[in-house]
Structure 1
Amino acid sequence: MEEDDIYTKDGTVDYKGNPANKKTTGTWRACPYIIGNEGCERLAYYGMSTNLVLYFKHQLNQHSATASKNNQNWGGTCYITPLIGAFLADSYLGRYWTIACFSIIYIIGMTLLAMSASVDGMKPFCYSKDNCNPTHRQSTITFLALYLIALGTGGIKPCVSSYGADQFDDTDEREKIHKSSFFNWFYFSINIGALIAASVLVWVQTNVSWGWGFGIPAIAMAIAVGFFFAGTRLYRNQIPGGSPLTRLCQVLVASIRKYNVAVPADKSLLYEKADAESNIKGSRKIDHTNDLSFFDKAAVETQTDQLKGINPWRLCTVTQVEELKAIIRLLPIWASGIIFAAVYSQMSSLFTLQGERMDTRVAHSNFHIPPASLSIFDTLSVIFWVPIYDRIIVPTTRKFTGQKNGLTQLQRMGIGLFISIFAMVAAAILEQERLKIVKKHNYYDVKEMPLTIFWQVPQYFLIGCAEVFTFIGQLEFFYEQAPDAMRSFCSALSLTTVAAGSYLSSLLVTIVTSITAKDGKLGWIPDNLNHGHIDYFFWLLAGLSVANFGVFIGIAKWYTYKTAVGTVPLNQKEAK
């Protein structure tokens, strides 16, 4: 290896601030710590969230619709707060210190939640197992803990996947080819954590106590933090590039101020630094693209700019303009993920409530499986499909497409959107059949009817399969298409589709309930689902998914991929 090839060329530095040495940092030597951290953190998160809708309903004494909405709203917040963590990571702290700081908030929230379910005076008073009467103060403590967790996970979530991808040098083809596999195995680790959560921890919450059911996730989060810090010496770190929002605003302002300035036909005349590197810390230059040409006005150097000197609110580089264009191009792709996220969110809400009205016995034994534990089949589906995709589908499709990853990221996402339609169809058909049995045998007031809960397996399995295509494809797509200095922000942007999907689901529940529960009617989603029609709600989501898939195909054909050029050379002095 030549002297120049010892160090990375994508701007990363080691924990001391020196240019990252390829022989001693990054790649798969660092990733096990990041993947281990993610697996334990997701065990903690899913361990307390998978069964949360039933905690709201039975321990906090909330109606089904209220419990579902509160669950969706909290889940949505968990995927909005990543914007905070992403901003701090890209602008000031860097990904390492953002993860470290928000992990502390996370542990505080997890500890408080465990206390709210176990300490006398803080936990709700229960007349029986599922008949509780919480005070306003007790409910407030629970929600305070939950929203501290939402803030903590928000600070971590957009940084961890990007931080793992940072361990592979984009300018080194030998390292870059492993990055796609990293995203697959990163998501695999998420589902190992979710598997333990949906099986062991949900059982503990249902059969032992909520105190232990929330306490074990708190311990898992502490282990996750230990994993993360253990790899400190091996990590490669991107230097924060300053506020991305400021740079985006500068392009907007400069474009508007020059609205009447003509863009030259020769785009090489647009303003850009003459050096090989970008003027944005930790970022390579980005090639000019011809679409969204209005914003090119911000890079037109006028006589005023030459006389008065460079003002970033009047004159921006081509790379800065292309950063804004890249974000704008991502927005339609982002929007297309919202319906999918609404479908995904049903696993922690209506799927669980549906399962609660079915026979939860395993093979007619006396062992009952908690309804929330059926999400284990979503997890098993992901665990099954990730290696199939990575080891079989990619090499096979590569022969036909010529793509190094087999499918483009947008093709991968589209396949997942298509599969998700069938998940909602399966859920709707199952509910129709369940209601037929209710009507035929007059089971309206029977809590568990003689239809095994394992008929829910297909809908969970299909969502898991769709995740492998859509969610992992989305993770990789938003990282790859993000400007170098905005990768945490774009990872957070991809996560906000989950938030928007949760809020959309909550909004749909509110609208459906207000329309269908008029004049004393029970509506589609009553407390006793035997009197309702959540099959109509599932058909509604299936229809929206079909429309969304059609729109996505058009968006994918329109999309223009970002092309980064050059390297980010760093000497030791600059790195520090």
Structure 2
Amino acid sequence: MMMDWEETGNKLKGEYVSGCVEEISVDWRGRPCKPNKHGGMTSAAFVLGLQAFEMMAIAAVGNNLITYVFNEMHFPLSKAANIVTNFIGTVFLLSLLGGFLSDSYLGSFCTMLIFGFLELTGFILLSVQAHLPQLKPPHCNMGIDGESCLEAKGYKAWIFFMALYLVALGSGCLKPNIISHGADQFKKDDTEQSKKLSTFFNCAYFAFCTGELFALTVLVWVQTHSGMDIGFGVSAAAMALGLISLLSGTLLYRNTPTRGSIFTPIAQVFVAAITKRKQICPSSSEMLHGNQNIEAGRPFAASPKLSSLLHTEKFRFLDKACIKIQDGSRMSESPWRLCSVTQVEQVKILISVIPIFACTIIFNTILAQLQTFSVQQGSAMNKHLTKNFQIPPASLQSIPYIMLIFFVPLYETAFVPIARKFTGRDSGISPLQRVGIGLFIATFSMVSAALVENKRRNSASNSNDEPLSIFWIAPQFLIFGLSEMFTAVGLIEFFYKQSLEGMQSFLTAMTYCSYSFGFYLSSLLVSLVNKITSSNSSSSSGSGTGGWLSENDLNKDRLDLFYWLLAGLSLINFFNYLFWSNWYSYNPSLSTSPTHDDQQDQPFK
């Protein structure tokens, strides 16, 4: 008999609630998968194709978008920077929506298919607007006659923002599902497939970097020399190839049925705890409902098929949700009044990771500057590599990804074995230590940016000096690339190790939200700095009334001071991270082996 999606999902939910998850996967028709036909690296390769092509398409638009917004849509520089950061921030914020829809209603494959076509529609609309003069403001020279340039308004602005946010909606909802759907192609309880799963994650990261590199070199060059309409068209073609790659593997995919929203059990814990807030927590955790911490002296999580969590002492007020009131009524056993220890511990994990997540926001605010103001920095410098060849400023953003392609294998083959001898850990250093190192290094990216911008500005003010070479801003990208290798990968590893079956998509989406909040904070910071510095300068004796970033000319702005501000915030954020990372404690039942000692790990003690 054919097993449909709903029946399979209900079966999976029943096993999940009982504390024992048996891995169930179905094919595209809802029938149980065949081990020799479905899944494996062959089917995962089609997902990797989507990863590479989609990243190629979105990176080509996002990383050079400020040039299009400023030069062709004629928005002021500070507003153009905010448009770009808001767009990128929205992409990552919408990852929560994609993860929710995938887990609750659509499944990862259908979610990717639907929102992939929405993203493709956005790219096509951007290309059409960039090609047709009647859909853009009249052409003018911003450098010579900037006052006469008309900002895009009315239906022209509406078309632009509709296209831009169709791309954001599509890409945002795709991101948390590409990796999860690829990982679903491997059985978690099979030793051989578990090894291949690790290989898949490495391949997925390589596909990500490859897409970024191609976008920041070839596609940005096309945009610069052939026009933004052709560039947007190539992004649309890349997205179409990604969808073709995804569809090509339809018959081979192992699909995981939906399990219901994670938000309902979270809400149940808070409702039950608040309802029983006057109750006193029992002295022994064994008296809590659903506490099945130990089986033959080992955590349940030691078995890949079991999903119980050990009870921890943090946030004890939530344990009240597990207190069973003996009043004989069914109401007392309602899931909104009585929760299991595992359910409560899931909520504790989510609360515990929030400070760690928050400490990476400043890191991504720095990333926002590399994709906006640093590109404009490059535009104001000498871009000639040879007499006849100029380097597109946006292509400098490829430097971190060039580093990542070479440094990640070097990290695994050289650094980890050396660190393992000193720490005794399989991973060399813990994920929290890795994130901390990256946050510390990121500070020096902004220090380098500030020093170079000050030198560039001084050089530009002297008419006898030649413009500074664009290669002067390469160090800030190089330093940030090293920082990202530690922070971004460490954060994903941290969230993955601290998640249970059914929580991976949500916690993965949280890593993307860190990018989102970082870019939103960048927009807020630009506006706030302009407001504060303009009021200060207007009261001073001789420097005009504009803020640090209020002009459309970097030679008049004080971007160097803004970079120094970010460097200071980054250093303060690092010390804030030290506090929270030492406060955090791992749930011991999430250890993958008896010798795993991350739960005792204190990153910088």
- TM-score normalised according to structure 1 size: 0.89
For the Cα contact (< 8 Å) 2:276–2:321, is it kept in 1? yes
Q: Which residue of 1 aligns with 2:416?
A: 394
Contact kept, 8 Å, 2:54 with 2:239, in 1: the verdict is yes
Shift of 1:234: 3.8
Q: Secondary structure at the match of 1:426?
A: helix
Partner of 1:145: 163
Q: Specify every segment of 5 or more residues in structure 1 that has no aligned partner in the other structure, as ranges.
A: 1-7, 444-448, 568-576
C-alpha contact 1:305 1:311 (8 A) present in aligned 2: no
Q: State yes or no: 1:251 paired with 2:269.
A: yes
Distance 1:95 1:288, change over 3 A: farther
**Contact 1:187 1:472 (C-alpha < 8 Å) held by counterparts:** no
Partner Cα separation in structure 2 for residue 369 and residue 566 of structure 1: 48
Q: 1:136 is matched with which residue: 144, 154, 163?
A: 154
Question: Which digits, 9 at most, give the CA deviation of each residue in 1:465-510, with x for residues without a partner?
Answer: 2112111221222233223212222111111111110011111110
Distance 1:310 1:54 in 2: 60
What is residue 55 of structure 1 aligned with on the other side? 68
- Alignment: residue pair count: 551
1:453 maps to a residue whose letter is: I
* Shift in CA distance, 172/547, structure 1 to aligned 2, threshold 3 Å: farther
Please give the per-residue CA displacement for 1:501-531, whole angstroms capped at 9, x wherever unaligned. Answer: 0011111110111122243433322211112
1:474 and 1:168, CA in 2 relative to 1: closer, same or farther beyond 3 A? farther
Secondary structure, in 3 states, of the residue corresponding to 1:372? helix
Question: Per the alignment, in what secondary structure is the counterpart of residue 301 of structure 1?
Answer: coil
Instruction: Pick closer, same or farther for the CA change 1:171–1:527 going to 2, 3 Å.
Output: same
Look up the SS of the partner of 1:237 in the other structure: coil
Shift of 1:534: 0.8
- Indicate the RMSD between aligned Cα atoms, in angstroms: 2.7
C-alpha separation in 1, matches of 2:560 and 2:397: 19
Distance in 2, Cα, partners of 1:20 & 1:475: 29
After TM superposition, give the deviation of residue 303 of structure 1 in Å.
0.7
Moved more, 267-276 or 531-540: 267-276
1:285–1:566 contact (8 Å) kept in structure 2: no
1:524 aligns with 2:541: no
Task: For 1:62-141, list aligned pairs within 5 A.
Answer: 62-127=75-140, 133=150, 134-141=152-159
In structure 1, distance between residues paired with 2:421 and 2:198: 17
1:316 corresponds to = 339
User: Contact between 1:283 and 1:483, CA under 8 Å: does it hold in 2?
Assistant: no
Structure 2 partner of 1:34: 47
- Whether the aligned pair in 2 keeps the contact of 1:421 and 1:542 (CA below 8 Å) is yes
Post-superposition Cα deviations, 1:43-77, rounded to whole Å, max 9, x if no partner, equal 00011111101111010111111111111111111
SS in 1 for 2:155: helix
Amino acid at match of 1:14: V
Q: What is the correspondence of 1:366-377 to structure 2 with a 5 Å cutoff? A: 366-377=388-399
The residue number in structure 1 matching 2:4 is: none
| Paired AA for residue 227 in structure 2 | S
SS at match of 2:426: coil
Contact 1:425–1:542 at 8 Å: present in 2 too?
A: yes
Give the percent of matched residue pairs that are identical in Structure 1 and Structure 2: 38
Alignment map for 1:154-193 (pairs within 5 Å): 154-172=172-190, 174-176=192-194, 179-193=197-211
SS at match of 1:117: helix
1:160 maps to a residue whose letter is I
What displacement does 1:343 show?
0.7
Q: Is the 8 A contact 1:10 1:170 kept in 2?
A: no
Decide which of 395, 409, 423 is 2:445's aligned counterpart: 423
Residue number in structure 1 paired with 2:512: 495
More relative contact order, 1 or 2 (CA 8 Å, 6+ apart): 1
Letter in 1 for 2:530: T
Alpha-carbon distance in structure 2 between the residues aligned to 1:75 and 1:49? 7
CA–CA distance in 2 between the matches of 1:345 and 1:12?
A: 41
- Residue by residue over 1:249-281, the C-alpha shift from the partner in whole angstroms, topping out at 9 and shown as x without a partner, is 110000011112122222222222889999xxx
In structure 2, the CA distance between the partners of 1:112 and 1:197, relative to structure 1 (3 Å rule), is same
2:557 is the alignment partner of 1:545:
no
**Amino acid corresponding to residue 228 of structure 1 in structure 2:** L
Inter-partner Cα distance in structure 2 for 1:222 and 1:88: 22
Structure 1 position 189, deviation (Å): 1.4
CA contact (8 A) 2:382 2:469 kept: yes
Could you tell me how far apart the structure 2 residues matched to 1:352 and 1:268 are? 59
Partner Cα separation in structure 2 for residue 538 and residue 288 of structure 1: 45
Give distance in 1, aligned partners of 2:546 and 2:198. 49
After superposition, the Cα gap between the structure-2 partners of 1:146 and 1:84, relative to the gap in structure 1 and judged at 3 Å, is same
In the superposition, relative to structure 1, how do residues 25 and 9 fare at CA in structure 2: closer, same or farther (>3 Å)?
farther
Q: Is the 8 A contact 2:104 2:260 kept in 1?
A: yes
- Structure 1 contact 427–456 (Cα < 8 Å) conserved: yes
Write out aligned runs for 1:207-222 (5 A): 207-222=225-240
Conserved 8 A contact 2:498-2:590? no
Give the C-alpha shift of residue 12 in structure 1: 4.1
**CA distance in 2 between partners of 1:247 and 1:124 (Å):** 51
- 1:13 and 2:25 matched: yes
State whether residues 73 and 136 of structure 2, in contact with CA within 8 Å, keep that contact through their aligned partners in structure 1.
Answer: no
Q: 2:89–2:518: 8 Å Cα contact kept in structure 1?
A: yes
Q: 1:438 to 1:125 in 2, by over 3 A?
A: closer
Larger mean Cα displacement after TM superposition, 411-420 or 168-177: 168-177
Q: Secondary structure at the match of 2:503?
A: helix
Equivalent residue in structure 2 for 1:504, among 504, 518, 521: 521
Distance verdict in 2 for CA 1:181–1:289, change over 3 Å: farther
